[in-house]
Amino acid sequence: MKGLSWLMGWRLLRRELKSGELTVLALALLVAVAAMSSVAFFADRIDSALTRQASQLLAADLVVNSRAPAEPAWQQRAQAQGLQQVATATFPSMVFAREQAVLANLKAVASGYPLRGEVQIRTRQGVKQGVYSPAAGEVWADARLLQKMGLQLGDSVRLGSRSFVLAAEVLREPDGAVDVFNFIPRVLLNHADLAATGLVQDGSRIRYRLLLAGEAAQVKTYRDWLAPQLKPGTRLEDIEEARPEVRSALERARRFLGLTAILSVTLSAAAVALAVRRYLSRHWQSVAVLRALGQTAPEVATVWGSLFLWLGLLAGVLGTLAGFGVQALLVYLARQWLGDGLPPPGWLAWLTGPLSALILLAGFALPPLLALRRVPAMAVLRADVPAGSRSLLAPLLALVALLGLTAWQIGDGPLALWLLSGLGGFLAAVALLAWGIVVLLRRVPLSGAVGWRHGAANLARRPWLAVIQIAALSVSLLALLTLTVVRDDLIGAWQRSLPPDAPDTFLINLQAPQRAQLAQAFAKVGRSAPDALPMTRARLLAINGKPVKAADYEDERAQRLVEREFNLSWRDAANPRNQIVAGQWWQPGSSTPQFSLEEGLANTLRLKQGDTLTFDIAGTTWQAPVTSLRKVAWDSFQPNFFVVAPSGWMGGQAASYIASYRAPDAGFNNRLVAALPNVTVVDISTIVREVRAVIDRLALAIEAMFALTLAAGVLVLWAAMAATRDERLYDVALLRALGASRRQVRNVLLAELAWLGGVAGLMAGGGAMALGALVAVQLFNLPLALNLWLLPLGMLAGGSVVALAAWPLLRRVTHTPPSEVLRAN
């Protein structure tokens, strides 16, 4: 008998899928599974990539990272302890070859590199993998540089004032393996050649790393010895801290995907709940027949239990495949930053999809399924609809389980909770508003056409259903509007914030005597030279005589500012692009010690006009009061400084210079850098282009996930429509029987749907508007702009989506002969 029940479940499933009775349920499960498993796959692959590469990411067990070369005492101690050590130095600089100049990240490595992991290079002899470093007089470059400059192995390449032979292409370097968002080419050279390039100058932005490796215990002893004596600006890196920027970028992506998965799963759960209820309410009579024919209650439960189990497995498998496809698309779109080397997903990730389908069904199908056992055989004689299960416990538990699963995928409990509360808040607000509107519709006597009146009344008659429909629809529409309108708004606003004559080039590392050469270069093309502004690195020591510590601040940015050195400049006259918001700029020629601060910095560090600041600049202490606060437009692409002092006081200090300009012609920057080899030219137009490409690709990846959310939203709507279809069919048949024309009936239905779509669209528009404003202000630092068009646009989109989703139903309802419906009832 058990076998028969299972077989019947399978037979029923096939029939019901064919007849469309289970379509909504199956699709809802499919969407939920696809959303869950795509996140699971993505997260799993990223995780194992990070774990696998963690020990190699540093190319060492411990790294001392500083702005100055490692002190001899550190190296002696390491040697005494039997640790292996290799020094590296990295900095951005221009690379010259084939009469072009390209900005690259240079890394000078001593022999012995890497201490952990292996490099993979392509030389003329073929591909080699192991512990290798460039020989003296040789450089290695990655494919990006080779492509950009059209280089071949054996070509001559110039760095600063020295020429090198391009000996190999770097295929993989341990401490650059997962270089997400890094589109600047890399060049490796021998540490011994560094001095000969002449690139190491005052104010050069060089990062020195001392790579150390050895027995874990020795490394720890060394670490414990060194850590207490490190000065600010020097830090220790170990495997846990390896590549934090990679980790955080991927974590952010994963969280984002998790958020969309949460949305999709929540919406799918609503669709599953609605669909299961409708399905079972249409089938309890079949249960009664089976009971009358002599099936026992457990047997009947097995028939439908197995049907749902089969369905869950089917949706689990298909949805997992779909999820794998979505994830593969994400990886494909992100391949530029992820590389091709992502390991395949583990077996656990394959189970997430089927598991979530079963959890969804257990939570939302099991309670009504168990209620089936209570359907009396007596129901074959008398059409008593048995009371459905009213307990919310099982669905709530299932939802919590699923969201827990998602939170686990995101890997950040508090964030998941925060996201969920946000989502819950939005849904609650929408539901509350929708409820209010529905109640209002019920109370207010509407005049006007029959269609509008009846439509509103229909909506008000099934309030909870209307609320679910509106909430689901508005979440989907919110996703849609955010993706299209708000995104375009933001990118547009960002583009507009760049004036057409904005500088496209930054020049840094310019030395004082080279300013004349810069002026000459501009004079040659008949243009006046841009201002070269002095820049030096300063560290804030004290405020009003009190030593300042990072621990004094809770704000992360403030802590960073206190710990790190920041750029300080001096000038005579006020920068006309800066606006003085407090105090006064000094008199021209003033030599009175004083500082002018950027307003944002002052706020972050809780500084005000009149405070006395003490700075350490290259070992000298400088103390003066703050006499003015300035407002700075950072996105103007002009050099700006947090702290400015009078030239008459600080001028004459060692400094490097910075300038920005719009390149007069295409070859200008190359010629300039050829004349001033140590200078770094940053072509912002490329960066802006690259950044835009990144945004576009990420947006595409995110859209793939939002499409799932949207599909889930439409499904809920569909399920809610289907839930009332029989009732509607009957209503319409009655209306028709009473003499309503097909057109009148259609108008009533259309009006109800228009109300529904309009209300949902209005809320989605409001939500998208708020979200857009929030993102603009919080993330992009753009001025607050409310796009009021979103409201009518949301209503229009809502109406259209609803009409589209409901069209088949509408046709069915208006084309079914009333006699058929009335007879069936």
Partner 1 sequence: MTSSSVNSAILRAQAVSRQVSYHGQQLAILHDASLAVAAGESVAIVGASGSGKSTLLAILAGLDAASSGEVWLAGQPLSALDEDGRALLRRDQVGFVFQNFQLMPQFTALENVMLPLELAGRADARPAAAAMLQRVGLGHRLDHYPRHLSGGEQQRVALARAFVLRPALLFADEPTGNLDPATGQQIIELLFELNAEAGTALVLVTHDTTLAARCAAVYRLSAGVLARSEA
Which of residues 15 and 524 has its CB atom nearest to partner 1 in the complex? Answer: 15
Decide: 25 and 272 in contact? Cβ < 8 Å: yes
Which of residues 14 and 606 has its CB atom nearest to partner 1 in the complex? Answer: 14
Question: Rounded to an integer, what distance in angstroms lies between the CA atom of residue 720 and that of residue 468?
Answer: 8
Which of residues 152 and 296 has its CB atom nearest to partner 1 in the complex? Answer: 296
The string over 122-152, giving b where at least 16 C-beta atoms fall within 10 Å of a residue's C-beta and e elsewhere, is beeeeeeeeebbbeeebbbbbebbbebbebe
Which of residues 69 and 298 has its CB atom nearest to partner 1 in the complex? Answer: 298
Which of residues 496 and 823 has its CB atom nearest to partner 1 in the complex? Answer: 823
Any contact of residue 21 with partner 1 (CB under 8 A)? yes
Q: What is the closest distance, in whole angstroms, from the C-beta atom of residue 357 to partner 1 in the complex?
A: 22
Chain mean position to CA 505: 28
Any contact of residue 298 with partner 1 (CB under 8 A)? yes
Which of residues 382 and 815 has its CB atom nearest to partner 1 in the complex? Answer: 382
Phi, psi of 348, deg, nearest 5:
-60, -40
Question: Pairing mode, if any, of strands 643-646 and 566-571?
Answer: parallel
Which of residues 8 and 769 has its CB atom nearest to partner 1 in the complex? Answer: 8
Chosen residue from 126, 154, 228, 294 binding partner 1 by CB under 8 A:
294
SS3 call for 134: coil
Q: What is the closest distance, in whole angstroms, from the C-beta atom of residue 383 to partner 1 in the complex?
A: 9
Any contact of residue 1 with partner 1 (CB under 8 A)? yes
Question: Rounded to an integer, what distance in angstroms lies between the CA atom of residue 68 and that of residue 209?
Answer: 9
The string over 371-385, giving b where at least 16 C-beta atoms fall within 10 Å of a residue's C-beta and e elsewhere, is bbeebbbebbeeeee
Any contact of residue 11 with partner 1 (CB under 8 A)? yes
Q: How many CB atoms lie within 10 A of CB 523?
A: 11
Which of residues 400 and 824 has its CB atom nearest to partner 1 in the complex? Answer: 824
Any contact of residue 729 with partner 1 (CB under 8 A)? no
Chosen residue from 68, 378, 516, 693 binding partner 1 by CB under 8 A:
378
Closest CA to 94 of 567, 676, 691: 676
Chosen residue from 68, 143, 227, 289 binding partner 1 by CB under 8 A:
289
Q: In sequence order, what DSSP letters do the residues of 257-291 get, joined into one string?
A: HHHHHHHHHHHHHHHHHHHHHHHHHTTHHHHHHHH
Q: In sequence order, what DSSP letters do the residues of 543-581 get, joined into one string?
A: ETTEEP-GGG--SHHHHHHHHS-EEEEEESSPPTTSEEE
Decide: 155 and 166 in contact? Cβ < 8 Å: yes
- Contact string (CB under 8 A) for partner 1, positions 380-419, x = contact: xxx-------------------------------------
Q: What is the closest distance, in whole angstroms, from the C-beta atom of residue 737 to partner 1 in the complex?
A: 20
Any contact of residue 290 with partner 1 (CB under 8 A)? yes
- Contact string (CB under 8 A) for partner 1, positions 119-158, x = contact: ----------------------------------------
Which of residues 298 and 783 has its CB atom nearest to partner 1 in the complex? Answer: 298
Locate all alpha helices (DSSP H) within 341-412, ordered by sequence.
Answer: 347-364, 366-372, 393-410
Which of residues 380 and 512 has its CB atom nearest to partner 1 in the complex? Answer: 380
Q: Site for partner 1 (CB under 8 A): how many residues?
A: 28
Stretch that binds partner 1, among 84-92, 106-114, 219-227, 379-387 (CB under 8 A): 379-387
Any contact of residue 376 with partner 1 (CB under 8 A)? yes
Chosen residue from 2, 4, 215, 413 binding partner 1 by CB under 8 A:
4
Chosen residue from 216, 217, 293, 387 binding partner 1 by CB under 8 A:
293
Q: How many CB atoms lie within 10 A of CB 484?
A: 14
Encoded tokens for 523: 């004079």
Q: In sequence order, what DSSP letters do the residues of 745-809 get, joined into one string?
A: HHHHHHHHHHHHHHHHHHHHHHHHHHHHHHHHHHTS-PPP---TTHHHHHHHHHHHHHHHHHHHH
Question: Rounded to an integer, what distance in angstroms lies between the CA atom of residue 404 and that of residue 421?
Answer: 13
- Tell the burial category of 393 from Cβ atoms under 10 Å away from its Cβ (0-12, 13-18, 19+): exposed
Question: Rounded to an integer, what distance in angstroms lies between the CA atom of residue 802 and that of residue 670?
Answer: 58
Encoded tokens for 722: 């289907």
Q: What is the closest distance, in whole angstroms, from the C-beta atom of residue 303 to partner 1 in the complex?
A: 11
Which of residues 378 and 700 has its CB atom nearest to partner 1 in the complex? Answer: 378
Question: Rounded to an integer, what distance in angstroms lies between the CA atom of residue 215 and that of residue 469?
Answer: 62
Stretch that binds partner 1, among 291-299, 478-486, 601-609, 621-629 (CB under 8 A): 291-299
Question: Rounded to an integer, what distance in angstroms lies between the CA atom of residue 692 and that of residue 491?
Answer: 9
Q: What is the closest distance, in whole angstroms, from the C-beta atom of residue 690 to partner 1 in the complex?
A: 58
Q: In sequence order, what DSSP letters do the residues of 401-468 get, joined into one string?
A: HHHHHHHHHHT-HHHHHHHHHHHHHHHHHHHHHHHHHHHHHHHS---S-HHHHHHHHHHHHSHHHHHH
Chosen residue from 209, 255, 291, 571 binding partner 1 by CB under 8 A:
291
Any contact of residue 15 with partner 1 (CB under 8 A)? yes
Chosen residue from 79, 296, 520, 685 binding partner 1 by CB under 8 A:
296
Question: Rounded to an integer, what distance in angstroms lies between the CA atom of residue 489 and that of residue 499?
Answer: 17
Question: Rounded to an integer, what distance in angstroms lies between the CA atom of residue 254 and that of residue 705?
Answer: 11
Stretch that binds partner 1, among 85-93, 104-112, 232-240, 295-303 (CB under 8 A): 295-303
Q: What is the closest distance, in whole angstroms, from the C-beta atom of residue 23 to partner 1 in the complex?
A: 14
Phi, psi of 293, deg, nearest 5:
-80, 0
Chosen residue from 125, 194, 288, 360 binding partner 1 by CB under 8 A:
288
Decide: 812 and 495 in contact? Cβ < 8 Å: no
Which of residues 281 and 603 has its CB atom nearest to partner 1 in the complex? Answer: 281
Any contact of residue 297 with partner 1 (CB under 8 A)? yes
Phi, psi of 182, deg, nearest 5:
-105, 105
Q: What is the closest distance, in whole angstroms, from the C-beta atom of residue 295 to partner 1 in the complex?
A: 6
Q: Rule CB under 8 A: which of 302-331 touch partner 1?
A: none
Which of residues 297 and 542 has its CB atom nearest to partner 1 in the complex? Answer: 297
Any contact of residue 815 with partner 1 (CB under 8 A)? no
Stretch that binds partner 1, among 8-16, 98-106, 617-625, 640-648 (CB under 8 A): 8-16
Q: What is the closest distance, in whole angstroms, from the C-beta atom of residue 729 to partner 1 in the complex?
A: 15
Which of residues 307 and 322 has its CB atom nearest to partner 1 in the complex? Answer: 307
Q: What is the closest distance, in whole angstroms, from the C-beta atom of residue 285 to partner 1 in the complex?
A: 7
Which of residues 443 and 823 has its CB atom nearest to partner 1 in the complex? Answer: 823
Decide: 70 and 222 in contact? Cβ < 8 Å: no
Which spans of this chain sit near partner 1 (rule: CB under 8 A)? 1, 4, 8, 11-12, 15-16, 19, 21, 285-286, 288-298, 376-378, 380-382
